[in-house]
């Protein structure tokens, strides 16, 4: 899309159309059904962002989301900082899959307890809480700095009573006795890039976003393996584990599920390019069904 827009801009310039940039913006506004008019620049003033300083940061490759301090996710804005991953459009698929499970399970009044593992700025946890008024979400992350940002987002979206924040390594913040088999669904967008492939990420990503959000060890499966095994202790029988994977990782992850012996009904959820980017599985009922 960007290439086409740049070509249009060059054509406007070449044909000496007066004010090519406003012309292009006007076209984008029409094609985005006037979405451009909703652009809110008040944040620049509130946060005293100077345009020159912002341009300098862009020159250094700092993502816009860090410069303005927020990013969109599933139609809402979330604060983010260089300590948190910038919410990705791909992850909207995981959240939609999770919301679909909730809708199939949830009857108004039935309380659901969910875990969002590796919550980052809290975008998934908060979207789930806002999507289901009876959902309580326990959102956790290894990094206390991300949890501080998630706290701001929890307040921004006023879900303090239904999203509780924790920090620590995977399930370690959750009391094993108290939460044992109490969880309806575990959702996670884990780090899944093998350490050796991190350098192949775009410089804007690897140079500015937190490495812990991507680095999944030598084979890229460290967290998957632990997540699949440890979630069994906390999920109710019939509870759902669903997480995002990298393109092409589904075979490897399927083997980990098979090896654990604790799940059934594996489902593969493709993105718009037909690549499996989300996997879900159901914890076996006690009798092994
Ligand atoms: C890919 S990011 C996902 C962030 C956010 N949930 C999202 O989807 O935009 C992975 C997150 O997992 C966290 N993380 C990495 N290792 C972890 C671990 N062992 N235990 C808990 N969280 C971890 C990282 O700090 C990071 O915030």
Tens digits of per-residue pLDDT, 134-145? Answer: 999 999 999 999
What is the residue extent of each domain of the chain?
A: 1-37, 91-283
Query: Is 74's pLDDT higher than 90?
Result: yes
Beta pairing, strands 70-73 & 76-79: antiparallel
Kind and range of the H or E run holding 6: helix 2-14
By DSSP bridging, strand 135-141 and strand 163-167 are parallel
- Is CATH 3.40.50.150 what the domain over 91-283 is classified as, yes or no? yes
Distance separating alpha carbons of residues 7 and 224, to the nearest angstrom: 43
The pair of structure tokens assigned to 208 is 């500015």
Relative to the CA of 141, which ligand 1 atom is closest? Answer: 22
Instruction: Output the pLDDT for position 47.
Output: 77
pLDDT of residue 50: 85
pTM above 0.85, yes or no: yes
User: What confidence score (pLDDT) does residue 287 get?
Assistant: 53
- The 10s digit of each residue's pLDDT in 221-258 is 889 999 999 999 999 999 999 999 999 999 999 999 99
Phi/psi-derived region of residue 39, left when phi > 0, alpha when psi is between -120 and 50, beta in every other case? beta
- Best mutation site among 114, 190, 211 for ligand 1 pocket (most ligand atoms within 8 Å of CB): 190
Q: What is the mean pLDDT of residues 55-76?
A: 95
Residue 86 Cβ inside 6 Å of ligand 1? The answer reads no
Q: Is the CB of 124 under 6 A from ligand 1?
A: yes
What is the pLDDT of the chain when averaged over all its residues?
A: 94
Q: For residue 38, what pLDDT is reported?
A: 85
CA of 104 from ligand 1 middle (Å) equals 27
Beta strands 276-283 and 112-117, pairing class: unpaired
Q: Quick one: average pLDDT of 50-68?
A: 93
CA–CA distance, 140 with 179 (Å, rounded to integer): 14
Q: Is 68 exposed, middle or buried (0-12, 13-18, 19+ CB in 10 A)?
A: middle
3-state SS, residue 218: coil
> Residue with structure tokens 């009573």?
161
Does residue 101 carry a pLDDT above 90? yes
Helices 2-14 and 20-31, interaxial angle, to 10°? 140
Residue 2 confidence (pLDDT): 85
Residue 85 near ligand 1, beta carbon < 6 Å:
yes
In this predicted structure, the answer to whether residue 276 has a pLDDT above a threshold of 60 is yes
Q: What is the mean pLDDT of residues 103-130?
A: 93
> In this model, does residue 89 exceed pLDDT 90?
yes
pLDDT of res. 222: 86
- Give the whole-angstrom CA distance, residue 72 versus residue 62: 17
Task: Please give the Cα distance from 245 to 11 (Å, whole number).
Answer: 41
State the burial class of residue 174 (Cβ atoms within 10 Å of its Cβ: 0-12, 13-18, 19+): buried
The Cα angle at residue 29 between residues 40 and 33, in degrees rounded to 5: 95
């Amino acid at each position: 899309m960007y290439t086409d827009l740049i070509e249009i801009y060059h054509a406007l310039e070449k044909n000496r159309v007066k004010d090519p940039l406003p012309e292009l913006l006007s076209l984008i506004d029409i094609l985005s059904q006037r979405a451009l008019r909703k652009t809110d620049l008040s944040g620049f003033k509130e946060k005293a962002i100077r345009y020159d300083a912002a341009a300098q940061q862009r020159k250094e490759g700092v993502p816009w989301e860090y410069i303005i301090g927020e990013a969109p996710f599933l139609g809402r804005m979330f604060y983010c900082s260089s300590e948190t991953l910038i919410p990705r459009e791909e992850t909207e698929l995981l959240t939609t899959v999770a919301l679909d499970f909730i809708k199939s399970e949830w009857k108004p009044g039935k309380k659901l307890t969910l875990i969002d593992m590796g919550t980052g700025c809290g975008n998934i946890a908060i979207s789930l809480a806002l999507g289901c008024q009876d959902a309580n979400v326990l959102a956790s992350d290894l990094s206390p700095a991300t949890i501080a940002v998630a706290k701001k987002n929890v307040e921004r979206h006023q879900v303090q009573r239904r999203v509780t924040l924790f920090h620590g390594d995977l399930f370690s913040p959750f009391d094993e006795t108290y939460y044992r088999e109490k969880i309806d669904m575990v959702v996670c967008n884990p780090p899944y890039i093998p350490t050796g492939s991190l350098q192949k990420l775009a410089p804007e990503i690897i140079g500015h976003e937190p490495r812990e959000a991507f680095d999944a060890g030598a084979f890229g499966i460290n967290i998957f393996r632990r997540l699949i095994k440890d979630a069994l202790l906390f999920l109710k029988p019939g509870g759902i584990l669903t997480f995002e994977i990298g393109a092409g990782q589904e075979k490897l992850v399927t083997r980990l599920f098979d090896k654990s012996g604790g799940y059934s009904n594996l489902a593969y959820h493709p993105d718009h390019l037909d690549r499996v980017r989300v996997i879900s599985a159901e914890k076996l009922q006690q009798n092994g069904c």
